Amino acid sequence: MNITPRKSRSSGRLTLDDVALSAGVSRITASRALRGERSVAPELVARVAEAAAALGYVPDPAARALASARSHTVVVLIPLLSNNLFVDLLEAVHRALHPAGYQILIGVTHYQAQEEEELLTSYLAHRPAGLLVTGFDRTPRCRELIARSGVPCVHLMETSQDPAVHCVGFSQADAGRAMTAHLLNTGRRRIAFAAAQLDPRVMQRLAGYRQAMQAAGCHDPALEWLSPEPSSMALGGQLLESRLASHPDVDAIFFCNDDLAQGGLLAALRLGIPVPQQVAIAGFNDLAGSDQMWPPLTTIRTPRVEIGESAAAMLLALMRGEALERSCVNVGWELVRRLSA
């Protein structure tokens, strides 16, 4: 054995050298053993692992990132934390990535392209190993930042035909069309589409609604109730109360999100409007509580856990440099028929 003596560090921090010293190997061998690189004698691997455990050694991620030009961080950019949809997604991503040794850095864009740009700029400086972003709607500069960084990136929630782009999601328009068709099938004709936030995915659902209504000869622009405000139960209640007053002939409301729909349902209850007898109410996403409403909410169940798991698996493969079978995974959705519509 031939090991150079190491100078004692001034910081007092436990370093790789301490582990190497204790295991009686060189610093490089310790590093390789700890990272599970093959080409280290099994016996040494065991000795290093033991020494590291005994000392309670934790590698310095900053030193690691600096030396290797890559970190074990995966950056996840989502619009909002206050929407349970994204929390479910995040949890699924975490469950899949954590065992592989990755940490998640969450960025919240608040649906602002500008915020996404800032987040991306500062987070990319951390040399993330991977990137998970929501949807495709972003500034050209964001796109360029992602492309130039060379960091593997998977897009969440939507699907794309572009084979150069990786994504896991479903067709928001299809789902919007299907729910509208369901309402039409149950005999409804004056179907309103009530939406807030008006982010790209909401607009895709609107497009699906519009197509179905037009195909049925029922489309009326006055029944597109669009509000740019953030989505909330309170807003759903307001929309139902105010718009129904001016459109008393409406026989169904398709809310673009379950929180609006829940608010609408409760407002109807308060106002004494029978659901679904007078007005059918449908939502989107099947968020927590929708099955607890009275009447329980008919909605589109969107498989965010599956999206999280599948996107994480795809990213893992990308980060390992593996070839992918498909660049886009369509996880679909499910119409959950309950009593409200």
Partner DNA sequence: CTGAAAGCGCTTACAG
Residues lying near a copy of itself in the complex (CB under 8 A) are found at 11, 13, 58-66, 69, 71, 81-82, 84, 87-88, 90-91, 94, 103, 105-106, 108, 121-122, 124-127, 232-234, 237, 259, 262-263, 266-267, 269-270, 288-289, 291-294
The region of 55-63, 168-176, 270-278, 322-330 touching DNA under the rule CB under 7 A is 55-63
The region of 35-43, 101-109, 145-153, 219-227 touching DNA under the rule CB under 7 A is 35-43
The residue from 11, 185, 277, 292 that contacts DNA (CB under 7 A) is 11
Concatenate the DSSP letters of all residues of 46-94 into one string: HHHHHHHHHHT----HHHHHHHHS--SEEEEEES-SSSHHHHHHHHHHH
Could you tell me the end-to-end alpha-carbon distance of the chain, in angstroms, rounded to an integer?
76
Q: Which two tokens stand for residue 315?
A: 């990213």
Q: Assess 25 for contact with DNA (CB under 7 A).
A: yes
Do the Cβ atoms of 114 and 94 come closer than 8 Å? Answer: no
Q: Which is nearer to DNA, 53 or 66 (CB)?
A: 66
Residue 230 near which of DNA, a copy of itself, none (CB within 5-8 Å, type-dependent)? none
Give me the least distance between CB of 108 and a copy of itself, in Å please.
7
Q: List C-alpha distances in Å: 255 to 202, 250, 299.
A: 10, 13, 9
Q: 11 — phi, psi (to 5°)? A: -75, -20
Q: Assess 46 for contact with DNA (CB under 7 A).
A: no
Q: Which is nearer to DNA, 68 or 121 (CB)?
A: 68
Give me the least distance between CB of 324 and DNA, in Å please.
23
Do the Cβ atoms of 231 and 196 come closer than 8 Å? Answer: yes
The residue from 21, 22, 36, 39 that contacts DNA (CB under 7 A) is 39
Residue 277 near which of a copy of itself, DNA, none (CB within 5-8 Å, type-dependent)? none
Q: How far apart are CA 137 and CA 221, in angstroms?
A: 25
Nearest Cα to Cα of residue 207 among 233, 182, 171, 239: 171
The residue from 4, 161, 185, 292 that contacts DNA (CB under 7 A) is 4
Q: Which is nearer to DNA, 63 or 147 (CB)?
A: 63
Q: Which two tokens stand for residue 131?
A: 């990137």
Q: Which is nearer to DNA, 34 or 194 (CB)?
A: 34
Residue 234 near which of DNA, a copy of itself, none (CB within 5-8 Å, type-dependent)? a copy of itself
- Which position has the token pair 């493969």? 317
135: left (phi over 0), alpha (psi -120 to 50) or beta: left
Residue 285 near which of DNA, a copy of itself, none (CB within 5-8 Å, type-dependent)? none
Nearest Cα to Cα of residue 71 among 25, 26, 103: 103
Tell how strand 299-301 and strand 334-336 pair up.
antiparallel
Q: Assess 27 for contact with DNA (CB under 7 A).
A: yes
Q: List C-alpha distances in Å: 188 to 177, 209, 218, 298.
A: 14, 13, 10, 14
Binding mask of the shown chain, residues 62 to 101, with x at each position contacting DNA by CB under 7 A: -xx-xxxxx-------------------------------
Binding residues for DNA, per CB under 7 A? 1-4, 7, 9-11, 13-17, 25-29, 31-32, 34-35, 38-41, 44, 57, 59-60, 63-64, 66-70
